[in-house]
Structure 1
Amino acid sequence: MVSASDEAPVTQLLARARAGDAQALGAAYSAVYEELKHAARSQLRRMRDAFQTTALVHEAYLKLAGGAPLAALDRNHLLALSARAMRQVLVDDARARKADKRGGGQEALTLTASLGNGDAAAVEVLALDELLASLHRVDERAAQIVELRYFGGYSETEIAAMLGISDRTLRRDWRRARAFLLAELGT
């Protein structure tokens, strides 16, 4: 858990970044860098993906820093946006690997060939991304909880604090999200 004294500098840096200070976003990201590496490491370990932890964190930063202006309001919001960016990086990577299988000069994958760890992880990430999009249309907060748990690697207590809800509400939403995902999977 992060103390209020740790959160204040990140919040101030994010306010400066929203005001146009180019270096402030980098400083805010540096302040949460170790947390992000921990989240990425646990995610990649669970997926058995070949993606490197540091590369995932850096790619997520590039997604946040490029394009649209940053909307993060505080440390928790930055961590949540970073988890979403990690998800997007992994989904993009999985799609690219899947596209390579269809015509990237690779040997064709047959029905009898087994999927390697990276290929299986790519399929898993793409399937989860589709399920999360469906869940997001039904229950946005439940989708955010799944995203933070699965892609961010955060505990229930950390997620409840990030979202400003009680642990009990989080557990109820988590059960509802799991039930939805299992029903969609047909399990």
Structure 2
Amino acid sequence: MPESTHVTRLLLDWRGGDAGALDDLLPLVYEELRGLARRHMAGESDGHTLQPTALVHEAWVRLVDADIAWQDRAHFFAAASRMMRRLLVDHARSKHRQKRGGGRARVTLQAADVVTPPIDLDILALDEALEALAAEDPRKARAVELRYFGGMNLEEIAEVTDVSIATVHRDIRMATAWLMSRLSDDPDGDAPA
């Protein structure tokens, strides 16, 4: 059985009440979760107090406790990515409160399919911009989140969001441009213009 089909089967069994499926699932998804955590942490400072392994473990605990009707492997990794982003944002907010703005965590938004050079920005500002985009256009926000934070390719995003690959590509380009514009207008002056 191909791994993606096996992961989907275990997720469905787990959702159906088979606690043993959860024990079988972790070894199949652990390395991919670590890669996802490394992508999320790539723009963080070297002295970041949260490490990728801890991010994976905290996300796993929260995913296990969450009441989610798992659909398939792609749905699981999209939820894991979103959970990791939430954990990093919560961590940054906590540090921000402790230091009153000093030592903010940094993250780089990079787009292989955007001509504009990447921007080095504050994860809190990025989270606020993503929330504003989600309020304006939830589909575009989800596509860009799955691409940059979830590490999904266009085909996987199209499958998860149930739209064409061309629509996903267009959504990501438009959302990235919108986010870059929004972040360049940062009132605190933290993001470069």
**TM bucket normalised to smaller:** 0.7 to 0.9
Q: Distance in 1 between matches of 2:128 and 2:26?
A: 28
Query: Contact 1:48–1:121 (CA<8 Å) still a contact in 2?
Result: yes
Please name the residue that 2:118 is paired with: none
Q: Distance in 2 between matches of 1:65 and 1:155?
A: 25
Moved over 4 A (4+): none
DSSP-derived class of the 2:2 partner: helix
Please name the residue that 2:9 is paired with: 12
Q: Higher helix fraction: Structure 1 or Structure 2? A: 1
Q: Higher strand fraction: Structure 1 or Structure 2? A: 2
* Distance change >3 Å, CA 86–CA 46, structure 1 → 2: same
Query: Contact 2:44–2:106 (CA<8 Å) still a contact in 1?
Result: yes
Partner of residue 121 from structure 1, selected from 95, 106, 113? 106
Please name the residue that 1:82 is paired with: 80
Q: How many residues align?
A: 170
DSSP-derived class of the 2:106 partner: helix
* Distance change >3 Å, CA 128–CA 29, structure 1 → 2: farther
* Distance change >3 Å, CA 8–CA 153, structure 1 → 2: closer
Please name the residue that 2:57 is paired with: 58
Q: Which range moved further: 28-37 or 70-79?
A: 28-37
What is the TM-score when the length of structure 1 is the normalising length?
0.78
DSSP-derived class of the 1:172 partner: helix
Q: Distance in 2 between matches of 1:126 and 1:77?
A: 25
Residue ranges of structure 1 left out of the alignment (5+ in a row): 103-107, 110-114
Letter of the 2:11 counterpart: L
Please name the residue that 1:71 is paired with: 69
Q: Distance in 2 between matches of 1:43 and 1:86?
A: 7
Q: Structure 1 residue 162: deviation in Å? A: 4.0
Partner of residue 41 from structure 1, selected from 30, 38, 51? 38
Query: Contact 1:16–1:24 (CA<8 Å) still a contact in 2?
Result: yes
Write out per-residue CA displacement over residues 149-170 of structure 1, whole angstroms, 9 at most, x where no aligned residue. 2322334444344444443222
Q: Of the two structures, which has the highest relative contact order with CA contacts closer than 8 Å and spacing of 6 or more?
A: 1
Q: Which range moved further: 10-19 or 22-31?
A: 22-31
Query: Aligned runs of 1:18-37 on 2, under 5 Å?
Result: 18-37=15-34
Q: Structure 1 residue 14: deviation in Å? A: 1.1
Q: Distance in 1 between matches of 2:158 and 2:60?
A: 24
Identity of aligned residues (%): 44
